Amino acid sequence: MSSSEKKYFGIRDIAKIAGVSTATVSRVINSSDSTSEAVRKKVMAVIEEYNYVPNQMAKNLFSKTSNSIAIFVYDMENPFFTSLVKKLNNIAFKNKYTLLICDTENNIDKEREYLNYCKSIRTSGIILTEGVNYNLYSSDSQTIACLDRSADTKFSTVRSDNMKGIRMLIDYLYNLNHRKIAFAGAMDEFQTAKERKDSYIKSLESHDIHINEDYIFTGHFNYETGVKALNYFWSLNEKPTAIVCANDQIAKGLIMEAYKLNISVPDDLSVVGFDGIVSPYFYPRITTIEQNIKKIAKSLFKAITSKTHTPVHDIIDVSIVIGESCKKIDLE
């Protein structure tokens, strides 16, 4: 067969050589169970002999969905999302799926364009992270799975046990004799931020520690919030001895600002974070809550590719990793 003939070699050619119908070839390519093993082997032998590669776009035209999934992320600079996307991509690749990364940058117009594109290529489903506009999405046309969203939704949800994580941090600091414990978090419009702040309040109450509203700083899940939080807390007459940060990025900013102001961590101030991604590469190593990102990715992929389409609500366990950012103090 000449190179020009190979170029246009398609399903009809395979069917003719194998002595079967084009519908049978299509079923074999799409791994349908309705084809006998003998016929499947005959068709596959022709496919392998002629190095036939199915046209994925053409396959999509005759299928309700494609072997592609999308993840909508509002902040790809956040190490948590970077790590999640990498692990999700590995899982997708092993299962012969393509992962589309939609970096919305918190822009609703970009989000809408990405959504329309996903619909046009018949994406199997979409994973939504916090910060996206949930009102744009309908489960009628897309399979949806949400990261870090409460179970009061018609979509599947996967999230870490935020309440447990913060509770472990408060218990740890309490056992180091800290009673003036502050919190640097993000806005309550984020489910993760709300859960972590709520757990901070409940955990202090469980230890009979008075809730000081001055000890709660609200910003964003970023480095700059840590910088601002440190300056705010250090301007108070009664300074905290420990600060719980809603994620490691906030903790990094806070510790770096403390260093600039000659405030020693942990000698003058104990700091803890949440995520467990950047802390191993930071000095002092941050005591933090480690999220099981690999398990989160697996759960999201399973939810988005499930044939049952029954919503699941998974809460992934977390663990505390002790670093060098905390110190035991004397009780006053």
pTM for the whole thing? 0.79
Output 85 or 107, whichever has higher pLDDT. 85
pLDDT in tens, 179-219: 999 999 999 888 899 999 999 999 999 999 999 999 999 99
Contact 259, 292 (CB under 8 A): no
pLDDT of residue 165: 98
pLDDT in tens, 111-148: 889 888 888 888 888 999 887 776 777 655 568 888 97
| Residues forming a β-bridge with 318 | 291
C-alpha dihedral (23, 28, 30, 34), degrees to nearest 10: 80
pLDDT in tens, 66-97: 689 999 998 888 899 999 999 999 999 999 99
pLDDT band (50, 70, 90) for residue 53: low
Residue 202: count of CB within 10 angstroms of its CB: 14
Mean pLDDT to the nearest integer, 42-47? 86
* Cα–Cα distance, 82 to 310 (Å, whole number): 28
**Helices within the chain (DSSP H only):** 3-7, 11-18, 22-29, 37-49, 56-61, 79-94, 108-120, 162-175, 191-206, 223-234, 248-260, 293-305
Query: Could you give the 3-state DSSP secondary structure of residue 217?
Result: strand
Output 308 or 48, whichever has higher pLDDT. 48
Contact 217, 246 (CB under 8 A): no
Q: What is the mean pLDDT of the chain?
A: 88
pLDDT band (50, 70, 90) for residue 153: confident
Asked whether residue 63 carries a pLDDT value surpassing 60, the answer given is no
Cα–Cα distances (Å) from 46 to 13, 51, 270, in that order, read: 9, 8, 67
pLDDT in tens, 220-229: 999 999 999 9
b (16+ CB within 10 A) / e for 136-169: ebeeeebbbbbbbbeeeeebbbbbbbbbbbbbbb
pLDDT in tens, 220-266: 999 999 999 999 999 999 999 999 999 999 999 999 999 999 999 99
pLDDT of residue 5: 41
Asked whether residue 302 carries a pLDDT value surpassing 70, the answer given is yes
Tell me which residue has tokens 């399979």: 143
Contact 319, 289 (CB under 8 A): yes
